[in-house]
Amino acid sequence: MAGACSLGLPLVLLLAVARASSPGTVVRLNKAALDYVSDMGKAPLQRALQVTVSDFLDPSGEVLQSTSVQILDVHLPHLHLEFIAGLGVRLSAASNFTVKVFCVPEPMELVLPVTLVANVHVARDSIGTPVLSILACSSIFSPARMLEGRNSTSQELLDLVQEHMKADLSNKLCLHVSGLVQDLNVHLGTLIGLSPVGPESQIRYSMASEPTITSNYISLDVRAMLFLLGKPILLPLHGAHPFVLPWPSGNEGAMATVGLSQHLFDCVLLMLQKAGSLDLDITGQLNSKTNPLDTSTLGQLIPEVAHQFPEPRPVVLKVQLGATPMATLHTNNSTLKLQPFVEVFAASPNSALHFLFSLDAIVNLSLQLSVSKAKLRGTTSVLGEVQLSVATSNVGSIDMDQAYTLISTVFQKPLLEHLNALLGMGIALPSVLNLHYVRSEVSVCEGYVVISSGLAYQR
């Protein structure tokens, strides 16, 4: 099983994501990804080919004798993977078997070259799990040769040993490769597991349709489902077409090209808003240089506050997002619009809160995206000025021209820190344990985001 995972983990991303209905993600893997899988797969495939050989019947003596044959070592100098359009992946491996034959009067050692060719079908099962299967497999045996420095033996005996090896190994090698693929399928099933997004929210990926396979790449559709308290978060598509990643997109030399639709961003933001993750309390402290907002300072701008609270009291801002945040994706430019509702309270000595006034706010943010390991992360900064307007007031008329600088300064910094901490935690991209995206480049296009990335499996 461990060998199967080592061979297949980089290949897993081939089977992880693609064009989906709601919300959609597309992943394309090119030949560079197959080259990486080839390098990673040599060792586990060598171990899988270390099979047991049945005894050899040696007719060279007067009596037919059963002679043991043992594979001492399997060396895999060449492993090549290539796409087969409409089918999957072709595996071709050149291997050298070092074999010891315990014949009389003395054992002999030889090298038997074998080329293994297998066609691996890539498909999707009924629950959206990727499935691999061997459609064709063959072993091509080249003439065996004695190891250098070993005693020579008759060509007749060498031919007999080779024929025995060919007859005994032809099916066994393919069966062991098939077993490796079946072990890998067990691991591929973990792709439909839940990944946490927050304390009460998760994301789950599953294949939405059969993969599209050409001679240059494999592209798979994935349905990303977001859950809050176990219930799915969905946005109506309003007749929109399924997300399709244009060809070509991103860096064609990258191992993986991942396309994330606008709809995915909308669903993630809706989930964060419904979970209350974007809400926060901003608490003022008396005589605080970092947060100067208290009733004394506020009373200098709003006379009724000074009248109601002659003694300075801390002020608390409760920030809630009643409207869903809106992400906008344009070429080389991504923005985020928040519309917080801000309630302002004064704290009494017994910790009771007295409502002062409320504000409608509009905050436009620049959104920068990056990838770390297997997560998409975000960082924001304010674009222009925060817009503030009075919604309701319990302290009479408020001149926002005078109060704006104080309130926006106290409000803006904690909001940014909270939002960046949340977006910095990231949301899981389709992946499996120990498989990471490396050297990733994020490009913003009209209505979608493209990630061009390498892959790295870390044990």
Q: Which CA distances in Å does 341 have to 174, 279, 280, 335?
A: 65, 10, 11, 20
Both 175 and 288 in one domain: the answer is no
167 and 313 co-located in one domain = no
Q: Is 283 in the same domain as 162? A: no
Q: Provide the pLDDT for residue 106.
A: 76
Q: Which of 344, 289, 286 is nearest to 311 (CA)?
A: 286
Most distant pair of Cα atoms in the chain: their distance? 120
**Is the confidence at residue 4, as pLDDT, over 60?**
no
Angle at CA of residue 184, ends 181 and 187, nearest 5° = 160
Distant-in-sequence, close-in-space partners of 346: CB < 8 Å, separation ≥ 6: 295, 305, 308, 309, 313, 314, 315, 316, 353, 354, 356
Residues 184 and 317 occupy one common structural domain = no
Q: Helices 155-188 and 2-12 sit at what angle, rounded to 10 degrees?
A: 60
Tell me if 338 sits within 8 A of 363, measured CB to CB. Answer: yes
Dump pLDDT digits (tens) for 14-36: 443 333 335 789 988 899 999 99
**Is position 440 within any domain?**
no
Residue 100, domain extent: 27-190
- Residue pair 29/256 in contact by the 8 Å Cβ criterion: yes
Q: How confident is the model at residue 420 (pLDDT cuts 50, 70, 90)?
A: very high
- Judge whether 171 lies within some domain: yes
Same domain, 308 and 424: yes
- Say which CATH number the domain at 61 has: 3.15.10.10
Confidence of residue 350 (pLDDT cuts 50, 70, 90): confident
Q: Do 36 and 168 fall into the same domain?
A: yes
CATH number, domain at 334? 3.15.20.10
How many domains are contained in the chain?
2
Nearest CA to 284 out of 271, 297, 300 is that of 297
Contact indicator for 387, 361 with CB cutoff of 8 Å: yes
- Is residue 8 a part of any domain in this protein? no
Domain annotation covers residue 11: no
From the list 112, 130, 111, the residue with the least C-alpha distance to 121 is 130
pLDDT, average across residues 382-393: 94
Q: Are 166 and 287 members of one domain?
A: no
Residue 317 lies in a domain: yes
Phi-psi bin for 46: left (phi > 0), alpha (psi -120 to 50), beta?
alpha
Residue 417, in any domain of the structure? yes
pLDDT at 246 (0 to 100): 86
User: Which has more confidence, 321 or 236?
Assistant: 321
Q: Which of 170, 190, 210 is the last residue of a domain?
A: 190
- The answer to whether residues 35 and 149 belong to one domain is yes
Q: Which of 147, 167, 190 is the last residue of a domain?
A: 190
* Pair 227, 201: CB distance under 8 Å: yes
User: Where does a domain end: 163, 190, 217?
Assistant: 190
Contact 138, 117 (CB under 8 A): yes
177 and 283 together in one domain: no
Q: What pLDDT digit, counting tens, does each position of 41-80 carry?
A: 899 899 999 998 888 776 655 545 677 888 999 999 999 9
Strand pairing report for 375-382 and 201-207: unpaired
Distance CA 277, CA 295 (A): 28
Indicate the average pLDDT of the chain. 85
154 and 284 fall within a common domain: no
Q: Is the dihedral of CA 224, 229, 231, 235 positive or negative?
A: negative
Q: Is the CB of residue 53 less than 8 Å from the CB of residue 35? A: no
Q: Is the pLDDT of residue 13 over 60?
A: no
Query: Which region among 28-37, 102-111, 225-234 has the lowest average model confidence (pLDDT)?
Result: 102-111
Amino acid at site 381? S
**Rounded to the nearest 10 degrees, how much is the dihedral formed by the CA atoms of 410, 415, 418, 419?**
-160
The answer to whether residues 417 and 287 belong to one domain is: yes
Task: Mark whether 304 and 424 lie in a shared domain.
Answer: yes
Whether residue 128 lies inside any domain: the answer is yes
Residue 118 lies in a domain: yes
The answer to whether the CB of 346 falls within 8 A of the CB of 311 is no
